[in-house]
Amino acid sequence: MPQPAAHHTPRYRSPYQTSSAASRPEPQSRMLAVASRTRDKSAPTILSLAMPFLLTTATGTATSPRPLIPSSPRRQNPTTPHLRPPPPARRLPGFPAAEPGAPFLPRPPRRGMASLAATAAAAAAAEVTHLTQRDAAEIDEQLMGPLGFSVDQLMELAGLSVAAAVAEVYKLSEEHTRVLIICGPGNNGGDGLVAARHLYHFGYRPSVCYPKRTPKPLYSGLVTQLESLSIPFIPAEDLPHDLSREFDIIVDAMFGFSFHGTPRPPFDDLIQRLISLSVIGNSDKKPAIVSVDIPSGWHVEEGDVDGGGIKPDMLVSLTAPKLCAKKFTGPHHFLGGRFVPPPILNKYGLKLPPYPGTSMCARIRKAPSVDISSLRENYISPELLESQVMPDPFDQFLRWFDEAVTAGLREPNAMALTTVNREGKPSSRMVLLKGVDKQTFVWYTNYGSRKAHDLSENPNAALLFYWNEMNRQVRVEGSVEKVPEEESEKYFHSRPRGSQLGAIVSKQSTVIAGREVLQQAYKELEHKYSDGSLIPKPEYWGGYRLTPTLFEFWQGQQSRLHDRLQYSQREVDGNTAWHIERLSP
């Protein structure tokens, strides 16, 4: 295998490089999928979040620290201004004034993995409004009348929500690529056409079945847009006999809130085909059925009256759930249509779950519990090739770190730090990387903490960055030392005053009687320094820096054929050089 040119760096001798340190165990961390209990196979196995676990083992030797020039990664503030509740709305004729404490006040949600779970829990706790057929139609009219929306706009946002929700639950992978969108004659069908376009741009392979085309410019425009993307339109009679073989996901966009009576041809047959797909045991692998606004064929208010209707895996309610959604028992219920203005919320007293961050969809019901052993993503990522990586692992790290920041990942500087004590017992925790330069990784902590204790006994440590959304992991191993006092002093005073007080209050890792102890101490300090005077850095608080001897860059790939490139140090002509090798996944 061709090897990239070795990169030479000057050699340093570590103050820790004593014979005893060299014999101490060196921690290694990597993400593993953990097999767990067996489960009821009929229960939903869908995952929306990967669940990383850290496994730490101990082996190895010590290494050498280098001078530090820290550059702080971007600070993330969970209460950034764009998350504030919106200002009160202007009053419109026919609508009540927006009141303070109106039922819907978007709480400041936090983006990312934790926030999804929190949103789901909050949504589950809150009572969500369900609309009658009449109210749904009335809201539609008001949006497109006095409230100034056009049908095109609402349809675009509705279809985008559907595509976003599909992509959130059925992440793009080998198992979830081929989507059939069945579109009806009305606006529900229009939502389906829009969703097809967005799914295409998200990387899915959509096909559309649109048997009763509406001769209006809005619809013919949507069809033209799909044709320009070479998205196939399949006549109902030409649909493959076994939909399970040809499609991973079927989007039901046949009927929405204007449905009445019993389905007429050709939709009666199409609905029947979806019903037979839902019958358990009909096929080894069934496509997921996603219904837009209402499961087609269901009564808009009563739901699946005789119990013989389609049983979607997912429902994306638009604007607000309709009454029939109370009967939906599938694992994934989402809200879409992030356009409802306060006059509508107030007039109808709508209680809806908040949309997390910039998301176009919000989970209404709690996500189903997940069988950990079934958690398996089939990653689709760009290849990580020896010929493309930087010869210096710090440059490669900074390149990936920049990409993680650009991708909007929440706290990409969060890393698992694994330390090992004198007895060889490892321990891991998340810390925030506060500086990285050409030689070291820096973070700050309490010198009385368990990690500090471990490091005083054994300077070997491992760092692990896991950027789930990018299918990337970086392992860094090396030796740790304290940063100079003046460095810690400088960083301490750059922190928000609240964090400075928090650092003084917390005697980290010691047992305390209760939360009140911290709150009381914090209050007293807050009072003491209320004049804005300098808060002195406590002696027991400061930084550490790790000088790596090993890096591994991991990029998830399809069928578990992941890329793993390891950088280790070699002696070349009396210098230390980074050597790159590919490891088997």
- Give the pairing of strands 314-318 and 288-292: parallel
Q: Which residue is nearest to ligand NPW (CB)?
A: 256
Comparison of 155 and 462: residue with beta carbon closer to ligand NPW = 155
Contact partner, 248, from ligand NPW, K ion, none, Cβ < 5-8 Å per class: none
Binding residues for K(+), by number, are 188, 252, 296
* Angle (deg, nearest 10), helices 217-228 and 151-169: 40
Tell me: does residue 473 bind ligand NPW (CB under 6 A).
no
CA–CA gap between residue 296 and residue 137 (Å, rounded): 17
379 touches ligand NPW (CB under 6 A)? no
The residue (of 318 and 370) whose beta carbon lies closer to ligand NPW is 318
> Which residues ranging from 269 to 308 are in contact with ligand NPW (CB under 6 A)?
292-293
Work out whether 549 is an interface residue with K ion (CB under 5 A). Answer: no
Residues within window 423-452 making contact with ligand NPW, judged by CB under 6 A: none
Please return the burial class of 103, using the count of CB atoms within 10 Å of its CB with bins 0-12, 13-18 and 19+. Answer: middle
Establish if 341 lies at the interface with ligand NPW (CB under 6 A): no
DSSP H/E element including 179:
strand 178-183
| Per-position x/- string for 296-315, each x denoting binding to K ion as judged by CB under 5 A, each - no binding | x-------------------
User: Cα–Cα distance between 446 and 538 in angstroms, integer?
Assistant: 9
Is 267 a binding residue for ligand NPW by CB under 6 A? The answer is: yes
560 is catalytic: yes
For strand 249-253 and strand 288-292, is the pairing parallel, antiparallel, or unpaired? parallel
Considering the rule CB under 5 A, would residue 292 count as an interface residue with K ion?
A: yes
Residue 140 contact partner, candidates ligand NPW, K ion, none, CB within 5 to 8 A by sort of partner: ligand NPW
Considering only CA atoms, which of 395, 475, 481 is closest in space to residue 64?
481
Residue 292 C-beta: closest distance to K ion, Å = 4
Burial class, 127, CB count within 10 angstroms (exposed 0-12 / middle 13-18 / buried 19+) = exposed
C-alpha 570/C-alpha 577 separation (Å) is 5
The residue (of 270 and 503) whose beta carbon lies closer to ligand NPW is 270
> Which listed residue (256, 303, 356, 412) binds ligand NPW by CB under 6 A?
256
DSSP letters along 273-295, please? HHHHHHSTTS-SSPPEEEEESS-
Q: 543 and 443 in contact (C-beta within 8 Å)?
A: yes
Q: Does 133 bind K ion (CB under 5 A)?
A: no
Instruction: Give the binding-site size for ligand NPW (rule: CB under 6 A).
Output: 31
Looking at the Cβ atoms of 27 and 256, the one nearer to ligand NPW is: 256
Interface region with ligand NPW, contact rule CB under 6 A, candidates 32-40, 120-128, 188-196, 458-466: 188-196
Complex with ligand NPW: residue 25 or 184, whichever CB lies closer: 184
Rule CB under 6 A: say whether 158 interacts with ligand NPW: yes
Residues 6+ apart with CB under 8 A from 17: 62, 63, 64, 479
Side-chain half-sphere exposure of 350, counting CA atoms within 13 A = 27
**488: Cα separation from own chain's centroid:** 33
- Number of CB atoms found within 10 A of residue 296's CB: 24
* 3-state DSSP assignment of residue 396: helix
Contacting residue, 56, 161, 207, 319, with ligand NPW by CB under 6 A? 319
Which stretch in 26-34, 199-207, 286-294, 424-432 sits in contact with K ion by CB under 5 A? 286-294
How many whole angstroms separate alpha carbon 320 and alpha carbon 126? 14
By CB under 6 A, tell whether 266 contacts ligand NPW. no
Please state the closest distance from residue 144 (CB atom) to K ion, in A.
20
Catalytic residue among 264, 560, 570, 582: 560
Q: Is there binding between residue 264 and ligand NPW (CB under 6 A)?
A: yes
- Given candidates 318, 364, 417, 452, which one binds ligand NPW under the rule CB under 6 A? 318
Long-range contacts of 399-407 (CB under 8 A, 24+ apart): 400/467, 400/470, 400/472, 400/474, 400/553, 401/73, 401/436, 403/470, 404/467, 404/470, 404/472, 405/73, 405/74, 407/469, 407/470
Q: Given the rule CB under 6 A, which of 151-159, 438-446, 474-482, 560-568 is the region that contacts ligand NPW?
A: 151-159
Give the residue, chosen from 155, 181, 249, 565, that forms a contact with ligand NPW under the rule CB under 6 A: 155
Residue 319 binding target from K ion, ligand NPW, none, CB below 5 to 8 Å by type:
ligand NPW
Q: Which is nearer to ligand NPW, 155 or 274 (CB)?
A: 155
Report residue 428 as tokens: 């891991």
The pair phi, psi for residue 155, each rounded to 5°, is -65, -40
Strands annotated E in 403-517: 414-420, 426-432, 435-436, 441-446, 460-467, 472-482
Give dist(CA 28, CA 418) in Å, integer: 8
Rounded to the nearest whole angstrom, what is the least distance from the CB of residue 248 to ligand NPW in the complex? 23
Stretch 220-259: interaction string toward K ion, x if CB under 5 A: --------------------------------x-------
393 scored as a contact of ligand NPW (CB under 6 A) = no
Interaction of residue 258 with ligand NPW, rule CB under 6 A: yes
State both tokens at 106: 């978007």
Tell me the binding residues for (6S)-NADPHX.
187-191, 256-262, 293
Residue selected from 26, 135, 168, 191 as contacting ligand NPW according to rule CB under 6 A: 191
252/477 with CB nearer K ion: 252
Closest CA relative to residue 246, chosen from 273, 268, 266: 273
187 binds ligand NPW (CB under 6 A): yes
Return the CA Rg of the chain. 28
Rule CB under 5 A: which residues touch K ion? 252, 291-292, 296
Active-site amino acid positions: 560
Which residues are near ligand NPW by CB under 6 A?
A: 136, 139-140, 143, 154-155, 158, 184-191, 255-264, 267, 292-293, 318-319, 337
